[in-house]
Amino acid sequence: MNATVRLPTRPRRPRARGRLPAMLPGLLALVLAACSGPVLANPPADRPSAAPRTPAPEALADPRPVVLPRDDGPHDRLTEWWYYTGHLAAADGRTFGFEYVIFRAERGGFPVSWASHLAITDESANRFAYGQRSEIGPGVDQSPRDASGAPSGFALRLVGTDPARPATGASTATGASTAWTMTGSGGRDTLSAALGPAEAASTAMPMGLGLQLALTPLGPPVLHNDAGWVDFGAAGGSYYYSRTRMTAAGTLVVNGERVAVNGTAWFDHQWGDFIAVGGGGWDWFAVNLDDGTDLTVSLVRSADGTYPLIYGTLVRPDGTSRHVARGEISVDALGTWTSARTGATYPSGWRVRVSGAGLDVTVVPTLRDQELDTRATTGVVYWEGSQRVTGTRAGRSVTGNAYVELTGYADRAAATP
């Protein structure tokens, strides 16, 4: 049977008056979109007519095999991101979710551009806060490379600023410049980012937030769509792999308090010569079950509300994985949540089923408001947040955690109220 997708109809809302926030030169034209899921969702859905550039040897023939740790590193492609989400706990029982991402974009003659988002969900205190950075130029990429110039991992160091808060964007409470960093090779990764009291785009944690984490994989990397290549047709294509279950240990800064934490993380790495697919946005699910099963599902919408692309990947407890076809996937939204800040209405809570895996789970947000307004760096408002999971797998009860990302539900061009 065909995939079933039942999501609430979102009401149209009038455009707010105003103008787009100031962006980095080139980013307005690049129109990056926040995405740990399948694609960037800004129209048009075709290859851009960018200024000529000299392609790297890797860009001459697609698809080609994904080779790690070489492909952990940056690529000379139009679009790329390194994306982490995870679930952490403190010794006193408090629980947290986090999102941390760095985007890379190159467009014709523009300098390489970068953007980064950091978000922390304090599940126990019902608080959510986030921040963003952007920077232009090749200096962000400090990745190790061999004699041929090929990377053997990634090392990204983004100082930059929050364009919406240029006076405070790269400063802590002491005024010292801070860098947001990601390093990794073969799944042994380190993450570091911090926001001072004046930087968090939320009043939930006025004393600032941050993280310092060390990650180690618990299983092999997973190549999506079987070989790690997703063909978007006229829109191009993307290489895409994940490390769906990693240990995470270190420190969170939550409203100025340093908290030692342990838990798990999910890593997505995607790159390719694409800008946009699915002008209506997408819903992306990353699920970790307590029996060791991991699942990702992507539902990509066109501007007319149809779903031209639905796919997923199931990772079994032994680390083997398989592609999940759209005919196996059924997603039913159980409710909605409307943002008082942007007026966007998002689905909130889902029943997710994969018929070929005997999987039937309910996914519920730990906090209904986990919306990020990143128009200053990536041109979009989106919702991404931690979830609790209950249900059955092959007839047995399971529980777990998840992250869900929702794009296209807010008017990207509307000015901040």
* Digit-coded pLDDT (tens) for 273-282: 987 666 789 9
**For range 167-195, the mean pLDDT:** 76
pLDDT computed for residue 61 by the predictor: 82
Report the amino acid identity of residue 114. W
Torsion sign, CA atoms 37, 262, 373, 182: negative
CATH number of the domain bearing residue 369 = 2.40.370.10
Please classify residue 266 by burial: count the beta carbons closer than 10 Å to its beta carbon, then call 0-12 exposed, 13-18 middle and 19+ buried.
Answer: buried
Q: pLDDT, tens digit, for every residue of 355-409?
A: 999 999 999 999 999 999 999 999 999 999 999 999 999 999 999 999 999 999 9
Residue 280's pLDDT is 86
Q: In the chain, what's the furthest Cα-to-Cα distance?
A: 59
- 104 within domain boundaries: yes
Q: What digits encode the pLDDT tens for the residues 68-79?
A: 999 999 999 999
| 417 assigned to some structural domain | no
Contact 247, 272 (CB under 8 A): no
**CA nearest 161: which of 125, 207, 195?**
195
Query: By residue range, what is the domain housing residue 244?
Result: 4-46+68-406
pLDDT for 411: 59
51 part of a folded domain: no
> What's residue 53's pLDDT?
41
pLDDT digits (tens, 9 = 90+) for 220-229: 999 999 899 9
Segment 197-222 mean pLDDT: 86
Structure token digits, residue 387? 């979830």
Residue 166: pLDDT over 50: yes
Residue at 60 is within a domain: no
Residue 53 lies in a domain: no
- The domain tally of the chain equals 1
| Residue 345 located in a structural domain | yes
* Helices then strands, each counted (H, E), the chain: 1, 25
pLDDT of 112 above 80: yes
Q: Taking the model in full, what pTM does it have?
A: 0.86
Report pLDDT digits (tens) over 298-349.
999 888 888 989 999 999 999 999 999 999 999 999 999 999 999 999 999 9
Instruction: Say which residue, 406 or 2, is predicted with more confidence.
Output: 406
- 13 in a structural domain: yes
Hey, what are 207's tokens?
């004393």
pLDDT surpassing 80 at residue 30: no
pLDDT the model gives residue 170: 43
Q: Is residue 40 part of a domain?
A: yes
